[in-house]
Amino acid sequence: MTEPVEILVASRNAKKLEEMQRILRDHLDQVEVLGLDDVAPYDEPVEDQPTFEGNALLKARAGVASSGLPTLADDSGLCVDALNGMPGVLSARWSGPPKSDERNNNLLLAQLADVPDERRTAYFTCAVALVLPDGTVRVVQDRMDGRITREVRGSGGFGYDVLFEADDRPGVTTAELDPADKDAISHRGKALRQIAPIVGDLLR
């Protein structure tokens, strides 16, 4: 039997890592997905790029350089039309240090308090970068369109999921969807399903 190929997913976010592992394992045979806690520690780069693609590449290249393993990394965030596309690449740290989903959500609700329902449109976007030890690079990006609710709802997902209703699942937040339903429509799910066959072809 063929030994599984190891691939590093450059993340310490347990919920994000679980989501990425779940989707990749559904689309790739004989691949063992590792997280950052499964490899020797290294200095992770500061995510200082102005684009999601740039930050994803930064993380993937650092993972390859340290571990020697093919590395996947993503950068994702919420872009709110009424805020000119913000929080964008600053999504995880929108309310300042230390990172806090609850404070980020409270700040976003406060910033949109006077914005009428028809102008509360937003989208999640995700860039996924694959970097191989031989220098091969592939990047894909996808999005999930929807709107920002007026209150927190749901206990699943993470980040801004409790405030986001996807156009494909109106009436519920993405935090109220079960994992399979969320994976089917999410920005990260779509991007990972794009990159999964590319990973399979390159690592065969």
- Tell me whether strands 5-9 and 31-34 are parallel, antiparallel or unpaired: parallel
What's the order of all strands across the beta sheet hosting 5-9?
31-34, 5-9, 71-80, 121-131, 137-148, 164-166
> Does 142 carry a binding-site annotation?
no
> Does 169 carry a binding-site annotation?
no
> Does 158 carry a binding-site annotation?
yes
> Among residues 75, 114, 181, 201, which one is catalytic?
75
> Does 43 carry a binding-site annotation?
no
> Does 159 carry a binding-site annotation?
yes
From residue 151, alpha-carbon distances to 38, 98, 107, 185 in Å are 37, 23, 12, 22
Q: Is 114 a catalytic residue?
A: no
> Does 106 carry a binding-site annotation?
no
> Does 124 carry a binding-site annotation?
no
Helix/strand/coil (H/E/C) assignment for every residue in 46-100: CCCCCCHHHHHHHHHHHHHHHHCCCEEEEEEEEEEHHHCCCEHHHHHHCCCCCCC
> Does 127 carry a binding-site annotation?
no
Rounded Cα distance between 164 and 171, Å, is 10
DSSP-based three-state secondary structure for 173: coil
> Does 123 carry a binding-site annotation?
no
> Does 160 carry a binding-site annotation?
yes
| Binding-site annotation: residue ranges for Mg(2+) | 75
Kindly list the catalytic residues. 75
Binding-site annotation: residue ranges for substrate: 11-16, 76, 158-161, 182, 187-188
Annotated binding site: 11-16, 75-76, 158-161, 182, 187-188
